[in-house]
Amino acid sequence: MANVAFTLDGLDDLRRMQGFISYATLEKAQRGGILYASKAVPPAVAKGIRASYNIKSQRIKQDISKVTIDPTGESATIHFSRRPPTLIQYGAKPGTRAKGQPGLGQGRGWGPATRPGKPLTANIIRAQGRKPIAGAFIARGNSGNQVVLRRNSQGRLFAVYGPSIGSIFLGRSAISTDLQATVRNRINEQFIKGYERALSAAARGR
């Protein structure tokens, strides 16, 4: 499991209110803030990654295993699964076989294909388009799902994966810094919103 921790800010106004409300109301407000902030994280991460990477939002959210918000709202930790998406989940398309190899006659074998084959391709980063993956092919795994396989130097098959959601978010991608800032702001914003809604509900006797 990989995780990233944020220090949040912008909560000074809420702290000043603590001297005017009961401890029970304060706890309720903090729970409201935590609930709102936690729910906001997966959609915000998915939206940011989807804008640049060719992977579905649902698959991105699957790799956010847990979101932990400090009761004070001062920090948040996002926990990511280390399991990377398969290349199939990054839109892998099978290659094509070469066609039209004419016989050369007189025992000289076959000539060059009139229509050369194409390698398997995948589009991981949207702006970069489809990239060929030499020697890769699509097969059905033990679970029945399709996987992309290649052979290593010893001839053994291995599965080919794309970048993990955690690695994209944690700093191994061109978008990580901006994405982290966006998600941090969203957590902050939603914690305050949930906190204020809980206080309003308490004031109405709910």
Prediction pTM value: 0.81
65-86 confidence digits (pLDDT tens): 899 888 777 788 999 998 899 9
| Predicted pLDDT at 19 | 66
Residue 28 above 80 pLDDT?
Answer: yes
Percent of all residues in the chain with a pLDDT value above 90, rounded to a whole number: 47
- pLDDT: which is higher, 8 or 177: 177
Q: Coil, strand or helix: which one is 53?
A: strand
Residue 15 above 90 pLDDT?
Answer: no
106-144 confidence digits (pLDDT tens): 555 655 666 777 899 999 999 999 999 989 999 987 788
Q: Coil, strand or helix: which one is 138?
A: strand
Residue 21 above 90 pLDDT?
Answer: no
Distance CA 176, CA 124 (A): 15
* Average pLDDT of the residues of the chain: 84
| Predicted pLDDT at 146 | 92
Q: Which of 51, 59, 109 is CA-nearest to residue 86?
A: 59
| Mean pLDDT, residues 138-162 taken together | 90
Single-letter code of the amino acid located at 84: P
Categorize the per-residue pLDDT at 94 as very low, low, confident or very high, splitting at 50, 70 and 90. Answer: very high
CB 85 within 8 A of CB 73: no
CB 173 within 8 A of CB 163: yes
- Residue indicated by tokens 């640049």: 52
Q: Give the β-pairing of 75-80 and 2-7.
A: antiparallel
Phi, psi for 16 (deg, rounded to 5):
-65, -25
Q: How many CB atoms lie within 10 A of CB 159?
A: 15
Residues sharing a CB contact under 8 Å with residue 44, sequence separation 6 or more, in sequence order: 182, 183, 186, 187
